[in-house]
Structures are given as C-alpha cells and as structure tokens.
Amino acid sequence: MIFPIVRTALISLRRDRGALALSFILPIAFFTIFAVIFGGRRDSTPKVSLLVADEDHSAASQRLIKGLEREGSLSVKRRPAAKQGVEQPDYTAATAEAAVKAGSAPVALIIPRGFGENPISFGRADPNRPTIQLLKDSSDMVAPQVVAGMLQKVAMTSMPDIMAEQGSKYMDEYAGGFTPEQRKRIDEGLEALRQRESAESNGQPAAPADSNAGMPIAVASRDVVGENKNNPMVSFYAAAIGVMFLLFTASSAGGSLLDEAESGTLDRVLSSRVTMGALLAGKLCFCSLLAFAQLILMFIWAWLVFKIDFPSHIPGFVVMGLSTAFAVGAFGMLLASICRTRAQLGPLSTLVILIMSSIGGSMFPRFLMPEAMQKAGLLTINAWAIDGFTKVFWRDEPVSHLWPQVLVLLAVGVVLCAIARRLARRWEYS
Amino acid sequence: MASAPVASIPSLPFPLRIEGLVKRFGDLTAVNGITLELKSGECLGLLGPNGAGKSTLIRSIVGRVVPDRGTVSVLGERADSAGARMMLGWVPQELALYPKLTCRENLESFGEYHGLRRGALKTAVAWCLDWAALTDRAQEPVKNLSGGMKRRLNMAAGLIHRPKVILMDEPTVGVDPQSRNRIFEMIEKLRGEGISMIYTTHYMEEAERLCDRIAIIDHGRVIALGTRDELVRNAFASRSEVLARFASVDDSVAAWVKQRGGLYENGMAQFTIEHATEIAGLLDAASRAGHELADISLRKPNLESVFLHLTGRELRD
C-alpha cells in the first residue's frame, strides 16, 4: 500500500515544476551563494579598503604605510582613483574623512605631522605626542578592527628598530639608566635592526621577524559616520528586511491579476471601458502604495522601538521609499504577467526573491561579500534600495546625493513595466 | 394639387449585427461563418450543445476574442468602439465577481469601470440590487451568498451601466429550479422594458420560454433560425413524433429502427409520423421483427426534436 502512495506523490511532484524548483533548485542556489560568500577561495576573500592620509611624510610614516601595503588583507589607497586620466592628489585628513563619510571606504588612517619624531608609545600616554587617527564608518564592524590590529602588527614588523630604540629610552628613563656596556650592546642591536630594514626596503629577503618584539603604537579611533546614532545596523536592516518583504508583498499583490484572470473578472473588466494599460497602471499603483505603506510602518517602528532618527530624514525617506516602491511594484507586475496561474507564481516568486535578497544584501551586508558578489548584487533592486536608504539614514547625505539610486530604481521600474505590459497582451485577446 | 413630399424615415440600425464571423483555435473552427441580426426589443436564443460555439460567439461580440473574419456592430457602431461597449452588456457564464467584496461594492466597482460616477452610480447600483432582489443582502460579501444569489448578482453586474443590448451566456448554469424561475422573472422584466437580448443556453425549455426567435448552433454554424413554431414546422411540417422504448437494447434494435427511418439513441427510438393511425403499423412491424416494446408515446415535436432531427444528436450530448 505504501508504494502506490509514494508513486502518486512522485508523479504529482514531477508535474509540479514550482515544487520541483523549490525542492531542488532553491537549495542548490542558496548553497552556492553562501558558499561563494563565506567559503570561497582565499583569493576571493574581500580585502579591507583602507585610506591613508600621510601628513607627516617622514621615513617612519612611509615605512608604516609600506608595511600596511604589504598586508594581503588590506587594500591601501593613498589617493582617490584617477578621474578621466588625471591623477588625484594624495588624501589629506579632510578628504579622507569625507571619503569615509561618502562610503568610499570603511576606514581611514591619518598619520599626523610629527609622528615620525616619536612614533612608538609605551607606558603613560603623552598628551602632547601626535597620535594616529583611525576614522571609521561604524556600520562596518569588521574593517576598523582589522585595520587597528594590522596597524599594531605592521608597527612591530616594519619599524622594529624604532620600537627597540623607543623601548630602550623608556628603559633608560624608568630603570635608572644603562651601564656603558649595556648601552653599547643596545646600540649595536639597533644598528643591526636598521640594516635589516634597509635591506628589506631594497627588495632583499627579510629575516623572520621576532613576533615578540615591539610594542603598540598609539591610535585614536573616531566614528565619522553614525557617531551620534544609537544602533548602527538598525537602519540598515530596516531597509534590507523591508525591501525583501516588499518584494514578497508586491508579487502577491500582482498575483491579483492572475486571480482575476482565473475567476473571469478580468474578462468582465476588460469588456468595460477599462483598457489593459489602465488596468496594469491601477494594479501598479496599488502594489507601489502598499509597498510604500509597508516601508513607512517599518521605519516608524524602527524609530519608536530602536530610536533611529526618522523625523529628520523624512525627505530622503520619501524619495527613496517611492522609488523603491515603484521598482518593487513593477517587479510584482512582471512576475504576475510571466506566470499563467497563481500556483506558478508562488514558487517562482519565492525562488527569485530569495536569490535577489541574498545577493542584494537583504540577508547580510554586501560589504562582507567578495567583490564579484558585490558587483552581482548591483543587478538586484535590493542593493540599490539598501544603498539609498543607507545614504539617507546612515550617512546623512542630502536628497540630491540619492540620484544614482533613484535613477536606477526608476529605470528598473520602467523597464519591468514595459515587459509586463508586453506579456499582458495575452490577456487582452484570444 | 401636388402632394407634399414625404420625408423618408431612416431605418434604425439593428441593435446587434453579426456578419460572416469566423474564429479558429488552431485546427478547431469554433465559429464558422455565423451571420445573425438581433431585432429591436427581441430576445434571440442561441441554442446548442456544449462546445457548439455559443460562448465563443458571445466573447467575439464583447471583444474578448478576436475573430479571424467577419464584423460585429452594435446599433451601427463597431463592437470594439467605446460607444458600443457602453451600449453592450455582458453576463458571462462564470461567476465573474470579487468574492471578498460585498454585493454593493461589486456593483460599484463594475459601475465605475463603465464610467459611472456619483449620482448615476448610486442610482444604477440601487436599480441592480432591486432587480436582482438583493437589496437586503447589499452589505453581504459575495462569498457568503448562495449559488442562486451569486448568479443574480453576476447578471446585475453585467447590467450596471444599463446597456441597450444584453448578452447572457448561460445565466442559469448550476442553479436550482427555484433560483432559475427567479432568474426567468428578472429576464422577463428586462424584456418588458424593451431591452434587446441574446440568450445562450442548452436548455430547450429556457429557449422556448424566453426567446422570440431561436438560432440553433452546432459545430460553429447556425443550422436553423426562426421562432419556435417556425423551427418545428420547417423540420416536421404537420408530423408528430413517436417515441418508443424497447425491452431489450441491442444492435439489432438499432438496425431495425434505422431501417424504418427512425433515430435511435440511448435505448430510445424516435419515428416521425403524419397520422396517429400509423402507430399501429409500427407496433405490428416491431412485433413481427421480434422486438418487444416496453412503452410507446406520441408527442408534438419540440426544439429538442428539431435539434435531434437536424443533427442526429441530443442537445445535452
């Protein structure tokens, strides 16, 4: 008796393409996406982008920067990318801070004037000594930690002579001075370190560094983005989760077209004065308004419960919200017009939306993904919407700075609407 | 004295005129060159079995199917024009209603789709609810209504814009006899108002009760057109039908019936006779052939007889 039951179920599954896709394609697709993001090859691991502004221009600061550049986990940029073939000037403290605020990189190091005179700090902090500034965007919780750690490591490995020299000074000061013999040996050791560093700078192989040598250099960390915000990731997730569910809502609302086709009301509507164009426009308005209302609810909730600053960002929210709602509404119309029945729509929308959401950053931030994946994410509505909302709520950027995201979302909406209109011709006549 | 010139009275266009309509779906020709004219105030019945092409013809008239050939005009205007759409009402065979909306909300929605606003919409909704005897259920969601009520509301939704020409596509499908009678009353009320109407059905008794003229459709063609009496007279003249049921059903009975010029279907034989006295001869011949008759009856031919006579099949096949 069991065999006929299994056979009947198998036949039903084989003929239900949607269920087949959900059973076999979606898990494979998800596994692939997660494997690429978290378990990919080493060379695809994302590097932390680091901006460096050298205001000291000393030998010590240059050695420090070169040391940072040698680190495989960092992508150090001393100046912005060339514009139209014209080289840009090196970062200054001000331009580096502006670049972090604009989202060009999550971290910037400012090496202050006078750093080279006394680069290493031990014991009591000297308030008069120049300190390296680490400017960070706290929405990226990983990059600043990586840079802070790498900075200490590089200080130890790229400036061992300076560290030893500074150490001996402290020893001299706090331990009552060295004997002439001790002083002689220390000077010889320092000279050997200098020679080794000099040889390394000339491209000769370095001897293995002593992992125990050296001491930390002083770094002052400062949030330049989101410094006054209560919870760095809430506004991100309000947008990220919001957009994903907007897509589900829009596909479901768009499915009302299929309901109407199946029940016969579509025929009745189209036999009245309502044209297919007007019908689609009406459905699109409904889907978009529903999506916008969902976003309003999501951000008001985030404001009331998680204290994001909603009231002072209303203009940016409205611009991004309407653009996103339009694109999402058009997406819902497209899915509905592709499918023949409601039964087809369910699995297809689940498949497409979950994949879009994972690549587009609705499930985890795109900056954690490999570079190729981040670029692939730009093919999704999620990525552009999240980027826009992040600009509004995290970077406090003015509405005028939202034009790339708004333009892309509106263009995507128009294209999807045009395709949906073309596909909807099958409902017009038979 | 010269008589005053008589002003010529322009002839009014037909409420509905169909000329040479053809619609094919792949290899299947659903409508095969149908030409029909609906007269003012007339109820024209389209009678035919399932799959005869009635619904395709109706859907072609309302523009939901694009014909391969032929034209349709409503009161002189092309059927796909905005003016024709306002003059044409359609009651589809399916319950084309929004189940979660109330009766009133459904009517308001379809009224607005036809361009009705404010006072005109309110008046039209009130008329429809009254006509369908649903005024006391106006606030009830459609999903909670009985089958008969849904059918009536389905009809009312097709009339919300008060069209001059109405197409009813099997409006009584699946309803109980009591609800069917109520629907007949609604249609008769419309007829009393002089509305021109096409009424498709495969129920002979509906066509006989409601329609002035009947077009019998089979395989996408009009095979007979006229009043009920004309159709019967043309098919049978003054002859009557003898229906005979045999005690045993086998191929020899069918062969014998065919040999005697009758039709044999589902164990029932049908013969056409000029005079009642011919029945005795029929009984005698059956007896001599060894076929025992279970019962025999004489009846005046009806539309069912006409259809069977013309096609060799029953209406509900």
The per-residue pLDDT for A198 is 66
Degrees to nearest 5, angle at CA B135 with A271 and A260:
30
**Closest chain B residue to A430, measured at CA:** B65
- For the ranges A138-147, B16-25, B195-204, B218-227, the lowest mean pLDDT is seen at A138-147
Closest by CA position to A276, among listed A346, A345, A337, A349: A337
Residues A161, A197: one domain? yes
Determine, yes or no, domain membership for A277: yes
Residues A310, A291: one domain? yes
Asked whether residue B290 carries a pLDDT value surpassing 90, the answer given is no
Of B82, B113, B161, the CB nearest to A269: B113
Q: How far is A258 from A333, CA to CA, in rounded Å?
A: 10
Residues A182, A327: one domain? no
- Residue after which a domain boundary falls, among A191, A225, A259: A225
Asked whether residue A213 carries a pLDDT value surpassing 60, the answer given is no
Band of the pLDDT at A413, cuts 50, 70, 90?
Answer: very high
Determine, yes or no, domain membership for A397: yes
Q: What is the number of structural domains in chain A?
A: 2
- For the ranges A39-53, A312-326, B190-204, B262-276, the lowest mean pLDDT is seen at A39-53
For residue B6, the Cα-to-chain-centroid distance in whole angstroms is 41
The per-residue pLDDT for A38 is 65
Say if CB A108 and CB A53 are below 8 A apart: yes
Determine, yes or no, domain membership for A395: yes
- For the ranges A8-17, A46-55, A63-72, A310-319, the lowest mean pLDDT is seen at A8-17
The per-residue pLDDT for A316 is 95
Of B66, B92, B114, the CB nearest to A264: B92
Backbone angles phi, psi at B26, to 5 degrees: 65, -125
- For the ranges A71-75, A76-80, A172-176, B107-111, the lowest mean pLDDT is seen at A172-176
Residues A236, A196: one domain? no
Of B66, B96, B113, the CB nearest to A429: B66
Asked whether residue A40 carries a pLDDT value surpassing 90, the answer given is no
Q: What is the mean pLDDT of chain B?
A: 87
A252 CB neighbour count, 10 Å cutoff? 18
Tell me the average pLDDT across A391-415.
93
Q: How far is A218 from A220, CA to CA, in rounded Å?
A: 7
Q: What are the pLDDT digits (tens) for A252-286? A: 888 888 888 888 899 999 988 898 999 999 999 99
Determine, yes or no, domain membership for A396: yes
Instruction: Give buried/exposed letters for B65-92 (b at 16+ CB in 10 A, else e).
Output: bebeebebbbbebebeeeebbbbbbbbb
CATH 2.60.40 fits B240-300, yes or no: no
Q: What are the pLDDT digits (tens) for B31-49? A: 999 999 999 999 999 988 8
CATH code where residue A142 lies: 3.40.1710
The per-residue pLDDT for A211 is 33
The per-residue pLDDT for B30 is 92
Asked whether residue A151 carries a pLDDT value surpassing 80, the answer given is yes
Degrees to nearest 5, angle at CA A170 with A164 and A172:
100
Q: How far is A122 from B150, CA to CA, in rounded Å?
A: 88
Tokens of B1: 């004295």
Residues A236, A356: one domain? yes
Determine, yes or no, domain membership for A281: yes
The per-residue pLDDT for B236 is 82
Residues A203, A153: one domain? yes
Tell me the average pLDDT across A165-189.
73
H-state helical runs in A309-402: 314-338, 342-360, 371-377, 381-393
Determine, yes or no, domain membership for A13: no
What is the least distance, in Å, from the CA of B73 to any CA of chain A? 15
CATH number of this structure's domain B16-232: 3.40.50.300
Asked if B66 lies within 8 A of A430 by C-beta distance, the reply is yes
- Residue after which a domain boundary falls, among A198, A225, A252: A225
Contacts of B96 in chain A (CB under 8 A): 263-265, 267-268
The per-residue pLDDT for A210 is 36
Determine, yes or no, domain membership for A65: yes
Could you give the 3-state DSSP secondary structure of residue A113? coil
- Residue after which a domain boundary falls, among A197, A225, A253: A225
Residues A219, A267: one domain? no
What is the percent of chain A where pLDDT is above 70? 86
Q: How far is CA A380 from CA A205, A324, A383, A386, A390, in A?
A: 47, 11, 6, 10, 16
Contacts of B90 in chain A (CB under 8 A): 268, 271
Determine, yes or no, domain membership for A404: yes
Which has more confidence, B173 or A126? B173
Tell me the average pLDDT across B120-127.
95
Q: How far is B217 from B23, CA to CA, in rounded Å?
A: 14
The per-residue pLDDT for A231 is 64
Residues A264, A407: one domain? yes
Q: How far is A259 from A271, CA to CA, in rounded Å?
A: 17
Q: What is B29-92 written as a DSSP string?
A: EEEEEEEEEEPTT-EEEEE--TTSSHHHHHHHHTTSS--SEEEEEETTEETTSHHHHHHEEEE-
Residues A104, A238: one domain? no
Residues A416, A387: one domain? yes
Name the β-bridge partners of A52.
A109
Of A263, A270, A273, the CB nearest to B64: A270
What is the least distance, in Å, from the CA of B114 to any CA of chain A? 5
Which residues, including other chains, have CB under 8 Å from residue B236's CB and lie 6 or more apart? Answer: B272, B301, B305, B306, B309
Domain with CATH 3.30.70 in chain B: 240-300
What one-character DSSP code corresponds to residue B268? E
B118-131 and B103-113 helices, crossing angle to 10°: 130
Contacts of A263 in chain B (CB under 8 A): 94-97, 99
Q: How far is A93 from A333, CA to CA, in rounded Å?
A: 49
Residues A336, A362: one domain? yes
What is the least distance, in Å, from the CA of B113 to any CA of chain A? 6
Q: What is the CA radius of gyration of chain B?
A: 24
Asked whether residue B124 carries a pLDDT value surpassing 80, the answer given is yes
Domain extent at residue A60: 47-225
Which residues, including other chains, have CB under 8 Å from residue B68's CB and lie 6 or more apart? Answer: B22, B23, B24
Q: What are the pLDDT digits (tens) for A326-378? A: 999 999 999 999 988 888 888 889 889 999 998 999 888 887 787 788 889 99
Q: What is the mean pLDDT of chain A?
A: 81
Residues A358, A334: one domain? yes
